[in-house]
Structure 1
Amino acid sequence: MSLSDLVLPVFAPDGPLARVRPDLRSRPGQAAMALAVAQAINARESLVVEAGTGIGKTFAYLVPALLSGERVLISTATKTLQDQLLTRDLPLLQQALALPLRVAALKGRANYLCLYRLEQARRDGEGHDEAVAHDLACVERWAQSTRSGDLAEVPGLDEYSAAWRQVTSTVDNCLGSGCPRLRQCHVYRARHDAQAADVLIINHHLFFADLGAQGAGAAQLLPDTGVVVFDEAHRLAETAAQFLGTHVSTSQLLQLGQDVVAAGARHARGAADWQGLLQHLRQCAHALRLAVAPGEAADAAGSRIAWTGVTPEALDASAWDGALEGVVAALRAVLAALDGVAQHAPDLAHLHSRTVALLERVLHFCSSAEAGTVRWVESAGALRMVETPLDVAGALRTLWKGKPPTEGAWDESDEPPAASAPRSWIYTSATLGDGKDLRWFTDACGLEGARTLQVPSPFDYARQAALYVPPALPLPSDAGHSVQLARWVGDAVARLGGHTLVLTTSLRALAVIADELCRRFAPGGGIEVLVQGHASRSRMVERFRAQLDASGRPAGHVLVGAASFWEGIDVPGEALQMVVIDKLPFPAPGDPWEQAQARRLADQGGNVFRRHALPSAAVALKQGAGRLIRNENDHGILVIADTRLLHKGYGKPLLRALPPMRRLHTQEEFGAALDALTRTSTRGSPSP
Structure 2
Amino acid sequence: MSLLSLVEEAFAPEGVLSRAAEQFCPREGQTAMALAVARAVEEGGLLVVEAGTGVGKTFSYLVPALLSGERVLLSTATKTLQDQLYGRDLPRLLQALGLPLRTALLKGRSSYLCLHRMELARRDAALPDRGAVRALAKVEQWSKATRTGDLAEMPGLDERSPVIPLVTSTRDNCLGAQCPQFRACHVNLARREALAADVVVINHHLFFADLAVRESGMAELLPSVRVAIFDEAHQLNETGVQFLGSSLTTGQVLDFARDLLGTGLQLARGLVDWQLLASDVERAGRDLRLAVGKGGLGGKLRWAGPAPEGVPAAAWEETLHALHAACLRAMAGLATVSEIAPDFVRLHERAGLLAERVECFARPGAPEAVRWLDVGTQLRLQESPLDIAEAVQTRLLNRDAGGAEAGGPGRTWVFTSATLGDDERLRWFTEPCGLGAAEVLRVGSPFDYARQSALYVPAHLPKPSDPSHSAQVAALVAAAVRRLGGRAMVLTTTLRALRAIGEALQAEFADSGELEVLVQGQWPKRRLMERFREGAAGGGQPGCVLVASASFWEGVDVPGDALQLVVIDKLPFPPPNDPLVEARSQRLESQGRSPFKDYFVPEAAVALKQGAGRLIRRESDRGILVVCDTRLTGMGYGRRLLAALPPMRRLQSQAEFEEALDALTRAATTDPSAS
Structure-2-length-normalised TM-score: 0.96
2:533 to 545, 559, 562: 545
What secondary structure, in the 3-state scheme, does the structure 1 residue paired with 2:668 have? Answer: coil
Cα pair 1:49 1:427 within 8 Å, conserved: yes
Give structure 2 stretches of 5+ with no counterpart. Answer: none
Decide whether aligned partners of structure 1 residues 119 and 523 sit closer, same or farther in structure 2, where only a CA change above 3 A counts. Answer: farther
SS of corresponding position for 1:435: coil
Q: Is the 8 A contact 2:206 2:216 kept in 1?
A: no
What CA deviation, in whole Å up to 9, does each residue of 1:328-362 have, x standing for no partner? Answer: 22222222221211222111110000010011001
CA distance in 2, matches of 1:449, 1:633: 38
Q: CA 1:289–1:400 in structure 2 vs 1: closer, same or farther (change >3 Å)?
A: closer
Task: Give the 3 Å change call, closer, same or farther, for CA 473–293 of structure 1 in structure 2.
Answer: farther
- Report the equivalent of 1:475: 463
Distance 2:142 2:168 in 1: 14
Inter-partner Cα distance in structure 2 for 1:415 and 1:199: 25
How many Å separate the matches in 2 of 1:421 and 1:269? 57
Match of 1:581 among 538, 548, 568: 568
Structure 1 residue 497 displacement after superposition: 1.4
- Determine if the alignment matches structure 1 residue 621 to structure 2 residue 617: no
Greater shift, 374-383 or 324-333, is seen at: 324-333
Paired with 2:341 and 2:184, the residues of 1 have a C-alpha distance of: 19
Shift in Å at residue 212 of structure 1?
Answer: 1.9
Pairwise CA distance, 1:77: 0.4
The counterpart of 2:593, out of the listed 606, 617, 626, is 606
Residues of 1 paired with 2:354 and 2:84: CA distance? 37
Give me the identity figure in percent. 55
Could you tell me how far apart the structure 2 residues matched to 1:4 and 1:555 are?
51
Q: Which residue of 2 aligns with 1:11?
A: 11
Indicate how the Cα distance of structure 1 residues 684 and 618 shifts in structure 2: closer, same or farther if over 3 A, else same: farther
Q: Could you tell me how far 1:417 is from its partner in structure 2? A: 6.5
Partner of 2:643: 656
Q: Answer yes or no: is the 8 Å Cα contact 2:53–2:445 preserved in 1.
A: yes
Query: Is the 2:474–2:501 Cα contact (8 Å) retained in structure 1?
Result: yes
Query: Residues of 2 paired with 1:553 and 1:368: CA distance?
Result: 61
Contact preservation (8 Å) 1:113, 1:168: yes
Contact 1:634/1:682 (8 A) holds in 2: no
Please give the alpha-carbon distance, in whole angstroms, between the structure 2 residues aligned to 1:629 and 1:343.
Answer: 62
Is 1:317 aligned to residue 313 of structure 2?
yes
Equivalent position of 1:229 in the other structure: 229
How far, CA to CA, are the matches of 1:109 and 1:378 in structure 2? 24
- Mapping of 1:488-503 within 5 angstroms? 488-503=476-491
Structure 1 window deviating more from structure 2 (558-567 vs 122-131): it is: 122-131
**1:430 Cα deviation (Å)?**
0.5
Q: Separation in 1 of the partners of 2:61 and 2:565?
A: 31
- Using the TM superposition, give the Cα deviation of residue 522 of structure 1 relative to its aligned residue in structure 2, in angstroms: 2.1
Residues 365-376 of structure 1 mapped to structure 2, 5 A cutoff: 365-376=361-372
**Residues 682 and 45 of structure 1: is their aligned pair in 2 closer, same or farther, counting only changes over 3 Å?**
farther
Match of 2:659 among 648, 672, 683: 672
Secondary structure of 2:168's counterpart equals coil
Instruction: Give the 3 Å change call, closer, same or farther, for CA 92–417 of structure 1 in structure 2.
Output: closer
Could you tell me which of 361, 382, 386 is aligned with 1:386?
382
User: Could you tell me how far apart the structure 2 residues matched to 1:161 and 1:309 are?
Assistant: 38
Q: SS of the counterpart of 2:74?
A: strand
Q: Could you say what secondary structure the match of 2:339 adopts?
A: helix
Q: Which residue of 1 aligns with 2:23?
A: 23
SS at match of 1:336: helix
Counterpart CA distance in 1 for 2:16 and 2:664 is 37
Aligned to 1:437: 425
1:356 counterpart residue number = 352
> Shift in Å at residue 197 of structure 1?
0.8
Q: Deviation at 1:419?
A: 9.0
Which secondary structure does the structure 2 equivalent of 1:628 belong to?
coil
Matched, 1:555 2:551: no
For residues 578-622 of structure 1, the C-alpha deviation after alignment (integer angstroms, 9 at most, x for no partner) is: 111111111100001111111111111111112111111111111
Superposed, which structure 2 residues align to 1:523-538 within 5 Å? 525-538=513-526
Where does residue 144 of structure 1 map in the other structure?
144
Within 5 A, what are the aligned runs for 1:331-342? 331-342=327-338
Deviations 1:253-282 (A, max 9, x none): 100000001100011112233223333333
Cα offsets for 1:407-435 (capped at 9, x unmatched): xxxxx672557993531000000111110
Partner of 2:303: 307
Partner SS state of residue 148, structure 1: coil
Q: Counterpart of 1:53 in 2: which secondary structure?
A: coil
* Distance in 1 between residues matched to 2:364 and 2:635, nearest whole Å: 40
CA RMSD of aligned residues (A): 2.0
Structure 1 residues 436 and 119: alpha-carbon distance in aligned structure 2, compared to 1, 3 A threshold: same
Q: 2:584 aligns with which of 597, 600, 603?
A: 597
In the TM superposition, what is the alpha-carbon distance from 1:384 to its structure 2 partner?
Answer: 0.8
Structure 1, 60-69 or 484-493: larger mean CA deviation: 484-493
For residue 563 of structure 1, report the CA deviation from its aligned partner. Answer: 1.2
**Conservation of the 8 A alpha-carbon contact between 1:526 and 1:554:** no
Query: Secondary structure of the equivalent of 1:365?
Result: helix
Deviation string for 1:90-135 (max 9, x for gaps)? Answer: 1111111101111111111111000111111111242552322222
Q: Answer whether contact 1:527 1:556 (CA < 8 A) is retained.
A: yes
| Distance (whole Å) between structure 1 residues aligned to residue 600 and residue 441 of structure 2 | 23
Cα offsets for 1:625-684 (capped at 9, x unmatched): 000000001101111111110101110000000000011111111111111111222896
Find the residue that maps to 2:560 and give its secondary structure: coil
CA deviation map 1:276-320 (0-9, x unaligned)? 33333332222222222444xx38xx5000001111112222222
Q: Is the 8 A contact 2:560 2:620 kept in 1?
A: yes
Structure 1 residues 130 and 419: CA distance shift in structure 2, 3 A: closer
Letter in 2 for 1:529: V
Matches of 2:100 and 2:90 in 1, distance apart? 11
Alignment CA distance shift 1:276-1:556 (3 Å): farther
CA distance in 1 between counterparts of 2:562 and 2:97 reads 34
Q: How many residues align?
A: 674
* Contact persistence 1:574–1:682 (CA under 8 A): no
Q: Tell me if the contact between 2:453 and 2:649 (Cα under 8 Å) persists in the aligned partners.
A: yes
User: What is the rounded CA distance, in whole Å, between the counterparts of 1:375 and 1:60 in structure 2?
Assistant: 40
Shift of 1:495: 2.2
Alpha carbons of 1:50 and 1:685: their partners in 2 closer, same or farther (altered >3 Å)?
A: farther
1:453 is aligned to 2:449: no
CA distance in 1, matches of 2:182, 2:237: 34
Alignment match, 1:566:
553
Letter in 2 for 1:579: V
What is the distance in 1 between the residues matched to 2:405 and 2:268? Answer: 48
How far is the alpha carbon of 1:478 from its aligned partner? Answer: 1.2
> What is the identity, as a one-letter code, of the residue corresponding to 1:671?
E
Residue matched to 1:466: 454
SS state at 1:202 partner = strand
Residues 123-142 of structure 1 mapped to structure 2, 5 A cutoff: 123-142=123-142
SS in structure 2 opposite 1:182?
Answer: coil
Distance 1:182 1:463 in 2: 59
**What is the CA–CA distance in structure 2 between the aligned matches of 1:379 and 1:128, rounded to whole Å?**
24
Tell me which amino acid in the other structure corresponds to 2:285.
Answer: A
Paired residue secondary structure (2:60) = helix
Q: In structure 2, the residue corresponding to 1:157 is in which secondary structure?
A: coil
The worse-fitting range, judged by mean Cα deviation, of 348-357 and 473-482 is 473-482
Aligned-partner residue type, residue 612 of structure 1: Y
Structure 2 CA distance for partners of 1:116 and 1:544, relative to 1, 3 Å:
same
Q: Which residue of 2 aligns with 1:642?
A: 629
Measure how far apart 1:21 and its partner are.
3.3
